[in-house]
Structure 1
């Protein structure tokens, strides 16, 4: 049996797809696994922020088209980059173990301290509002492109520092570029940051992904994504969500910026893992009601 794995053609995306492929081949050596890469619209347009060009869906629509057309059998994504609205014909059929979920500060090579006269580069409103609180008075400027492109802009002197996901840096073997890992209290991560998601066509036999799938991470992902979805959060919305599980109890912490007042709200909720989706919705509603009553 042959399985064609669809992926964006960036170095990080390929490494992530190969993580899935390696797991399949290790547990199912009889299967023939092939990588199929493609460049998405989101990879091609780098001079504007995602909210200006159509959102996170631009990173998946070409892969979705190929999957629906039968050109590939499964696709691999960074779960945090997937839009909240998904095609029911293309369900998420497996999620990975979670890599370090937090963000990292990256400085130019050889520097131990950030140059406050230069901007910090980041790619999301979520990071921006939290960086403004951590580094008051320092300019926060958008930066687009893959990790290597962003690092090149840092080294050229365009930025004094970058904020990147620890997970991507680790998967690329760039852990030595991390100057500081932000704590959960300092910077709440994006929903599903550090998690890989595998999509397939509805009804497809995906038993070959059984060893790759982590059920507990799927519960965490459902809680985080339901929180964001309830707040109608897209790539431009300053929203963060981070869940953990202990003793069959899920704790979800959320952050978002109320649109009219620009006030940043942060709260948490705990409940049974079986209520993961409802916990996310409940926390979102509670925070929205708090914003509206103040």
Structure 2
């Protein structure tokens, strides 16, 4: 029997390739009639490393070239880290599947041989979302941008440029670097980005995505729905300091959210629970609550760090 050939688009970073190959391996195991080829490409977001993402258009720049490849029929699907996706998805390029969730936590990575952060040096992170929350845990710390792929960031850390860096556990584990993790931040202390640790498969509206019908993890899909609903209502892009993390338990879903008021520079956090069938409405409800400043007040970010 002749195999159905498809092309999967991916960013060319090592982590993106590893994640895309996870999807290809799943296809080989569950749909041997499908032959998947990987096509990698460098995105605009990968090329511009000397400025913050919010200064160059947000993380939508990580998907621009992948979207164009789909629209031009050079690829059939794209694999993304869900946290890197913009909130507005083109109707002609729907998200057709979500993976099960890896570890959603943020982690602390120290230089080799160190047991605690050297706070005479900055903590490396380019995420204002992280900084707002980490300031409560490290009030004496300074924060500084660290861009580049995973290996580049760790190299800069080991070279002595930073006293510590903060990364996503999922990426570290998928890259086989769990041994470099020095500590985990509970999601109650540092709320992750919406969609963190979940992979998304994107296709074309006129395409055949039937091979992914049994790929989606429904728990992860419902969690992502609540998280992205929260961020979308607050009009938060991928570079906006807004965070959301949902957890499904049986028929219930619990959602934690972080809201940063751009006008007052105040940050608030809160949480709600409800039926998982109303995940989208739950995200909107929590967003409205925090917009009214009804959550826990985290303080004012009255100046931008060197990020």
Classify the secondary structure of the residue corresponding to 1:144: coil
Q: Is the 8 A contact 2:87 2:238 kept in 1?
A: no
Classify the secondary structure of the residue corresponding to 1:131: helix
Q: Is the 8 A contact 1:119 1:141 kept in 2?
A: yes
Classify the secondary structure of the residue corresponding to 1:283: helix
Find out whether 1:96 has 2:91 as its counterpart. Answer: no
Q: 1:197 aligns with which of 197, 200, 208?
A: 200
Correspondences of 1:248-263 after superposition (within 5 Å): 248-263=251-266
Find out whether 1:73 has 2:76 as its counterpart. Answer: yes
* Corresponding position of 2:30: 27
Deviation at 1:203, TM superposition (A): 3.1
Unaligned runs of 5+ in 2: 298-307
Q: 1:43 aligns with which of 43, 46, 68?
A: 46
Q: Is the 8 A contact 1:131 1:140 kept in 2?
A: no
Q: 1:176 aligns with which of 176, 179, 192?
A: 179
CA distance in structure 2 between the aligned counterparts of 1:236 and 1:67, rounded to whole angstroms: 24
Q: Is the 8 A contact 1:107 1:160 kept in 2?
A: yes
Which has the higher mean CA deviation after the structures are superposed, 198-207 or 100-109? 198-207
Which has the higher mean CA deviation after the structures are superposed, 28-37 or 15-24? 28-37
TM-score by length of 2: 0.93
Q: Is the 8 A contact 1:132 1:140 kept in 2?
A: no
Find out whether 1:275 has 2:287 as its counterpart. Answer: no
Deviation at 1:143, TM superposition (A): 1.1
Unaligned runs of 5+ in 1: none
Correspondences of 1:1-294 after superposition (within 5 Å): 1-290=4-293
CA distance in structure 2 between the aligned counterparts of 1:205 and 1:185, rounded to whole angstroms: 39
CA RMSD of aligned residues (A): 1.3
Deviation at 1:73, TM superposition (A): 0.5
Deviation at 1:291, TM superposition (A): 6.0
Deviation at 1:205, TM superposition (A): 1.7
Deviation at 1:215, TM superposition (A): 1.8
CA distance in structure 2 between the aligned counterparts of 1:118 and 1:203, rounded to whole angstroms: 52
Q: How many residues align?
A: 293
CA distance in structure 2 between the aligned counterparts of 1:146 and 1:8, rounded to whole angstroms: 11
CA distance in structure 2 between the aligned counterparts of 1:188 and 1:15, rounded to whole angstroms: 25
Deviation at 1:17, TM superposition (A): 0.3
Deviation at 1:192, TM superposition (A): 0.7
